[in-house]
């Protein structure tokens, strides 16, 4: 196991962050809800809201408007070190969690897909396993997020460069829960 960092933010998407019809879709991070605990299962994530109720993430297979009917990207994982690089290039609009990942890990350096091929374990501070994630693929960037990150409509070549920059795991990774567990801020994250 290799220590990657610890969980600093948990969140769910209550509804889609992309709205409108192609090619005029826009990105809006407003539906993101920060939570203290996240229930992770093979079906996706539920976030514990402030009043104790569990709110269904739009990538959970049971959400009425699910964006994950095949169960192939129910959980997303991102890294603060990637946000540092994105903010340096794209500006202050890029804040930790604005890309909508469920689990944000405070980490040093770039994390790539090849670092995560054995999966990821989330552990309590004293080393007890909470849940495992099977990392399926990088979260490829989309035009609406890239345009939003750049502050609006931009030239095609600038958009293309931004899409390339945000790829290869910069925007995070799609995962599926192996078993189930309750993830909390402060949990340790290790590459298996």
Instruction: Identify the structural domains of the chain with CATH numbers, from first to last.
Output: 2-191 (2.40.33.20)
Give 166's DSSP letter. T
Q: Which two tokens stand for residue 162?
A: 């931004």
Q: What residues pair up with 9 in beta bridges, in sequence order? A: 104
Q: pLDDT, tens digit, for every residue of 39-94?
A: 999 999 999 988 889 999 999 999 999 999 998 889 999 999 999 999 999 999 99
> Which of the four pLDDT bands, split at 50, 70 and 90, describes residue 153?
confident
Q: Is the separation of the CB atoms in 47 and 75 below 8 Å?
A: no
* Statement: residue 131 has pLDDT above 80: yes
Burial of 151 (0-12, 13-18, 19+ CB in 10 A): exposed
């Amino acid at each position: 196991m290799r220590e990657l960092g610890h969980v600093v933010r948990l969140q769910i998407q209550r509804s889609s962050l992309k709205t409108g019809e192609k090619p005029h879709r826009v990105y809006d991070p407003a539906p993101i809800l920060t939570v203290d605990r996240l229930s992770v299962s093979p079906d996706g994530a539920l976030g514990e809201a402030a009043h104790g109720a569990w709110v269904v993430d739009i990538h959970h297979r049971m959400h009425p408007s699910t964006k994950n009917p095949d169960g192939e990207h129910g959980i997303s994982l991102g890294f603060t070190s990637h946000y540092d690089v994105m903010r340096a290039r794209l500006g202050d609009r890029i804040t930790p969690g604005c890309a909508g990942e469920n689990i944000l890990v405070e980490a040093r350096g770039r994390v790539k897909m090849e670092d995560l091929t054995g999966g990821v374990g989330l552990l309590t501070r004293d080393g007890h396993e909470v849940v495992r994630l099977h990392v399926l693929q990088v979260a490829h960037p989309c035009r609406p997020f890239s345009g939003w990150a750049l502050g609006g409509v931009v030239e095609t070549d600038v958009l293309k460069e931004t899409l390339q920059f945000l790829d290869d795991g910069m925007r995070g990774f799609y995962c599926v829960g192996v078993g189930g567990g309750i993830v909390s801020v402060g949990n340790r994250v290790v590459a298996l």
